[in-house]
Structure formats: C-alpha cells, structure tokens
Amino acid sequence: MAGRKQFDVDEALRRAMHVFWRWGYSEASIDRLTEGTGLGRGSLYNTFGDKSALFRKSLQRYTQTYHPLFDQALSGPHPSPSAVVAAFLQVTLNRIADPTVPDGCLVTVSATQFPALDAEGQAMVRAVMDGLRAMLEQALLAAGASEQEAAELALCTLATNKSLAVLSRAGFSGEDLATVAAAAARIPGTPHPLP
C-alpha cells in the first residue's frame, strides 16, 4: 500500500539509539545512522525528522527503557542511605555488564558532547540527570537521610553513576567498576552493602 512504512519503526529507533550511544551525537553521522538503522536517508528523515530530532527521540527511548529500572531499585524500602546508593549503582553495573548494548551510558556520552547539542537536546540531557538526582534524593530521605545528607549523597551518587559509564567506555573491568560502586556506597557508620 502506498505511503505505508515497510519497516519496524520501534526497532529502527532502538538501533538509532545504539548509534548515538556508541558514537555520541557528534560522531553519529547520517551515514552511521542509516547504516545502523538499515534505513535510507529519505526514510530516516521522513520518519524521525532531522538528526537533532532523532537524537531526542533516541534519548527519550533510552530513558523509557532504563529509568524504570532505577525507579524500581529505589522504591524500597531500604534500611539505610547506603542501601539506596548500592541499589542505584547496581542498576548501572547491570546495564554496563549487558553485552547486547554499547559501553557506557547514552546520557553520559551526550553530556560530554553538550556543546554539540541544540538547546532542546541540552535541556533534555540536563532534565534526565536532574530527574535521577531528584529520584535519589527522595529515596535517601525515605531511608532516613537528613535533607542535607540526601542532597549531597544524591549528587555524589549521580556523579559516580556517570563516572562508571566513562570508565566502562575506557575498558575498565567489571571488577574495577564494582569496586568503585562499593566504595561509593560505603557511607561511614553503615555496613558495606555491595559484595
């Protein structure tokens, strides 16, 4: 039938997300996007718009895929703030260990290329990180942290999350990454929460 798409749009978006995740916005050329999605330029543009629009849709797909895992891990109840940090970082370690996806994190690689993004893309990346930070703060408060402690731990845990993504892209081992996560979750006065 004329005008009907002959490909799986959701699968094409998943593949585009992987291109941006692997290469970052700057290096995710249209050639790499067409090769990665299996679509011609016309189909790519007609379905998703320009590169910036495709990036924003890819980032939205990424957050819809992975952020519910953080939400679930933080839903608790958690016996301590340390357990909250450990649960959050375990989600990160699990994603990094998945051999079916690129190393690192799409949000992190996008943040490192912030100047290359348009204003809407920049706002989305920042909103995603702010959302994770707020999610962490609420879980830390629920686990007994004071407001100041929750704010500080949320920011430090978010920073550790992003650092793990960078280290994984640089080839650090899963054992090294687990060591970083365990150290981050080791809050004075609480037991060591990660194995």
Q: What is the pLDDT of residues 138-168, one digit of tens each?
A: 999 999 999 999 999 999 999 999 999 999 9
Task: Provide the H-helix boundaries in the chain.
Answer: 9-27, 30-37, 41-48, 51-74, 81-97, 106-112, 119-142, 147-169, 174-185
Regions of the chain with pLDDT less than 50 = 1-4, 189-195
- Percent share of the chain, pLDDT over 70: 92
What is the pLDDT, as a whole number, of residue 195? 46
Nearest to 66 by CA among 185, 161, 186, 169: 161
What gap in Å lies between CA 184 and CA 81, rounded to an integer? 11
Return the pLDDT at 191: 42
Which residues, in sequence order, are CB contacts of 111 under 8 Å at separation 6+?
125, 129, 162
pLDDT for 76: 80
DSSP letter (8 states) at residue 193: -
